[in-house]
Chain A
Amino acid sequence: MDNTLSFTKPLLETPFHKRTFEACYNNDWYRWAGYKIAREYSNTELEYTSMRNTAGVLDITPMHKYDIKGKDAIKFVDKLVTRDVTQIKPNQVMYIIWCNEDGNVIDDGTVFCFNTNHLRIFCAERNLNWFCDTAIGFDAEVNDVSDSIAALAFQGPLSCKILHLLNVKNIEHLKPFFFDSFDLNGSNVTISRTGFSGDLGYEIWCNPQDALNVWDSLFKFNRDYKVLPAGMNALEMVRIEAGFIQPNADFMSAEQALRPNRMRTPFELGMGWLVDLNKNYFTGKKSLINLKNKSLTKKLVGLDIQGDKPAIGSVLYDKNKKEIGIVTAGMWSPSLKSNIAFGYVDKDHMKIGSKVFAEIYHPEELEYKKIWAECLVVKKQFFNPPRRHKVPADI
């Protein structure tokens, strides 16, 4: 892989580019951390359907990967994040968020524990600066290993079956939020049972040299099981159904927001369950203890919206037409057959079952149709099938 930037080639290509380029009929690319990633290969709905019914393959190589090595590796992560990670076991994965001193969320990600002296954090935004500053005073070295690992997300109800057919030993016994090394068609890979789809699924981490072999293997049984490469648009659909929020889309990262009132605390994002105020000191603990005792003024909630027109970018109102918030992400969910969204609401409407109204502007052949839709406040996690947590997984 030639990873040099030039004037004519301003975006990097991932180790899978040879294949993604062939598959991307639309030639529709998205810029993610300097890499070219397909936004849509041929048809977003089709790609979405493959992830919900068979399996979809997503190139997630641009994810930022930070190696943390040293005697204090666990202590360092414990100081960084709001959860207690001191009890993390080798081969375990934990979902984590980290805050700044005011208790505002900077980013979320996952931490993989190889052993007590070696952890790896995966996240969507750049965080090297923050991690290095957090590491001051700890015997822990932070290294950006983003470019040395190629990664695929393999998500869908048949993902385990296909890996099993590929002779990946004991893959069905891998528990959710655990990882291990496996042999995949002759390539040594790390597979974790994690993902952004809210369904059964795996993430496969490999050497860039093995990338094409891994990619090709996943499509080996396509005569029977139509596995499709999926683009970012399809990922956006599944992550909303799964209730996963994204920095700089559903909330502003505290390291990037310019206006102080645009930052969000874990409580406002409905992530209070990730905050452990009884653990050792971590960045933001002092502020979060104060915030915990204060009532929220706004909160990110799930919305079940009347009708079938997605409420993207809508403003939310109460029954007196007073503005109370905004929708951050919305879609028509083909699996759930409902119109769902995430949105911020004020303190009078954050209870499950509250009613708010969305003003939806729906374009219809060069004219906007203005829809006044009633919305029910619900849990953010819309889609959560039992097969997601089942051990052994369905083969």
Chain B
Amino acid sequence: MKKFDVIIIGGGHNGLVAACVLSKNGNKVLVIEKNEKLGGLANYSEYLSNISQEVLKELNITVEKNTSDNFVSALSEDLNHTVLQINGSKNVQFLQTSASDSDQKSFINLINKYDLFARTLRSFMFKKPPRVKSGSRSDIWQLFTMGFKVRLLGKKNMRELLRVIGLNIADDLEDNIESDCLKGLISNEAVIGTNLGARSPGSILNLLYNQATNNSFFRINKFNTNSFLKSIEDICKKNNVEIQTNKKVEKINISNQSVNSVLLNTGEQIETSAIISNSDPKTTYLELVGASNLDTDFIRRTNNYRSRGTVAKVNIEFKNDIKIKNLESKYLSGKFVYAPNIKYIEHAFNANKYNKLTSNPCLEFYINKNKISANVYFIPYLKKSSHDKEQILKNIKLILDKFIEENQILSSLIETPNDIESKYNINGGHWSHGDLEIDQLLMMRPFYGSSQYSTPINGLYLCSAGTHPGGGITGINGVNAAKQLLKDKGNG
């Protein structure tokens, strides 16, 4: 039987990053991936909005950057589209809009306000989250700096942060902006990928949180995904990390509350003393570890962890090159958002609440000549049934027909949360392996008893998006989990 120092379950980007860090420190690492292709959910987007600087520094890699202009177009049914150019996190310019001058000004002010708050959050985004009652000095120091950073905002801004952090995005928008189109544009950023509507409390927190992880308001394209994946795969190869694809881990064998070996679907059994799971927390605990090795309270929390996906990935190929009505063709390289107003988003969200398919979903898409690659929400994850994909396509077509000049669909590929679940083995098919809401953040992510990348099982660690700081493809989860493992090993 083979033996490895560390086995990493899942070759997503976080798993690979963790493998890089561990192998660099002289560990014999094995990565086991269910699919042929490495990278997991990162494969869904051509570009990434933010790979954390800490990861780039730790691995000493450079990633190819996207050089095209960053346009964001909010589509409007009266064909008076709004087009923004984004340069950096704060510098937003209106290129075309029907919104009034004062509205534009308040829009910029609002974005600046959110940017200021997001920067505060960002300061503790990429660190290991502190535990409240651990008594460890580093945890206390971190809690202190977190509080201090918030206090540094000054009296007025700190009050404003504390006022809005639990609020819903619709209230804050309605206080400041009049244009429906702009409200929809910001709401889109606050609710996409979550189980929140524009009027759900916590949507502002989600917005700030995303902004902090991505370091930009509109999740603009900065890094080339393939270049990133290739460079971490290269490091793995260089450091002799063994990667086995097309194999699935069926079970983590545990003896005496410590990991012992993994059992593969091929029947192989591989011994190890440490495992990092890049699988989501629910799958890791309920399927791989098994309930019989965990306390009932813990199983309860695992079961209650909210990880219902709401976004479907849709790729459509048209016959001719796509043109948007009443929009200059130079803007086609940018991102398009169709979330016309708050009420529309709320209605789409309402259907999701009751596991129904909305006929008016929100869209966020990119155009590449004759192809569209879109994120469609809210498409709820269904536990016992599956969606009618024809119907989803029909609904999208009806929306696109309003904006796209006469064209014909050649082929389409729709991946609902259910498909994402089975393809990548993510319970619920959620983008970030679980909702980013106040009770599932920081030291509470994924839940009490499993924070700081460790688990109740000795030698088992988590590095998936289900850990702090969540999704967004930053790679930091992998680095932090690997560091935690190294630290525990050193002490042991």
A interface residues (Cβ-Cβ under 8 A, vs B): 75, 79-80, 100-101, 130, 133-134, 136-138, 280-281, 283-284, 286
Contact = CB atoms under 8 A, between A and B. Distances in A.
B257 interface: yes
Interface in B282-338: 286, 290-300, 303
B299 A133 contact: yes
A79 B299 CA distance: 12
Contact of B296 (A75, A100, A286): A100
A283 B296 contact: yes
A101 B295 contact: yes
B24 to A, nearest CB: 33
A133 B303 contact: yes
A79 B296 CA distance: 9
Contacts of B303: 133, 136
A284 B296 CA distance: 9
Contact of B295 (A75, A100, A137): A100
A101 B298 contact: yes
Contacts of B449: 101
Given A136-B286, A137-B290, A281 B298 contact: no
Nearest to A100: B297
A362 B292 CA distance: 52
20 contacts: A79-B296, A80-B296, A100-B295, A100-B296, A101-B298, A133-B296, A137-B286, A137-B290, A137-B291, A137-B292, A137-B299, A138-B291, A138-B292, A281-B257, A281-B293, A283-B295, A283-B296, A283-B297, A286-B295, A286-B456
Contacts of A137: 286, 290-292, 299
Contacts of B294: 281
A137 B293 CA distance: 10
Among the interface residues B286, B290, B294, which one has the most CB atoms of the partner chain A within 10 A?
B294
B265 to A, nearest CB: 19
A128 to B, nearest CB: 13
Contacts of A136: 286, 291, 299, 303
A303 B303 CA distance: 44
A133 B304 CA distance: 11
Interface in B246-295: 257, 286, 290-295
B290 A101 contact: no
A85 to B, nearest CB: 14
Contacts of A138: 291-292
B293 A101 contact: no
B283 to A, nearest CB: 13
Contacts, number: 43
A283 B298 CA distance: 9
B254 to A, nearest CB: 8
Nearest to A103: B295
A133 B456 CA distance: 18
Nearest to A255: B297
Contacts of B298: 101
Nearest to B304: A133
A284 B299 CA distance: 12
A133 B300 contact: yes
A84 B207 CA distance: 51
Among the interface residues A75, A133, A134, which one has the most CB atoms of the partner chain B within 10 A?
A133
Contacts of A286: 257, 295, 456
A281 B296 contact: no
Given A283-B295, A283-B297, 13 more contacts: A75-B292, A79-B292, A101-B298, A101-B449, A133-B300, A133-B303, A134-B296, A136-B303, A138-B291, A281-B293, A286-B257, A286-B295, A286-B456
A281 B256 CA distance: 8
Task: List 8 A-B pairs, minimum CB-CB distance, nearest first.
Answer: A137-B291, A101-B295, A101-B297, A283-B296, A134-B296, A283-B295, A133-B300, A136-B291
Contacts of B292: 75, 79, 137-138, 280-281
B190 to A, nearest CB: 33
Contacts of B295: 100-101, 283-284, 286
A283 B449 CA distance: 14
Nearest to A282: B295
Among the interface residues A136, A137, A281, A286, which one has the most CB atoms of the partner chain B within 10 A?
A137
A280 B293 CA distance: 9
A76 B460 CA distance: 24
Nearest to B302: A136
A135 to B, nearest CB: 9
Contacts of A134: 296, 299
A174 B87 CA distance: 85
B293 to A, nearest CB: 5
B257 to A, nearest CB: 7
A224 B293 CA distance: 57
A283 B257 CA distance: 12
Nearest to A254: B297
Nearest to B298: A101
Contacts of B293: 281
A101 B296 contact: yes
Contacts of A280: 292
A100 B299 CA distance: 11
Contacts of B286: 136-137
A134 B293 CA distance: 11
Contacts of B290: 137
Nearest to B299: A136
A70 B303 CA distance: 21
B470 to A, nearest CB: 25
Nearest to B292: A79
Contacts of A75: 292
A285 B104 CA distance: 61
A283 B456 CA distance: 12
Nearest to A289: B257
A138 B293 CA distance: 12
A138 B296 CA distance: 12
A231 B297 CA distance: 36
A267 to B, nearest CB: 18
A260 to B, nearest CB: 11
B437 to A, nearest CB: 22
Nearest to A135: B291
Among the interface residues A75, A101, A134, which one has the most CB atoms of the partner chain B within 10 A?
A101
A80 B297 CA distance: 11
Contacts of B299: 133-134, 136-137
A80 B291 CA distance: 11
A290 B484 CA distance: 23
B328 to A, nearest CB: 56
Contacts of B291: 79, 136-138
A281 B257 CA distance: 8
A80 to B, nearest CB: 8
A79 to B, nearest CB: 6
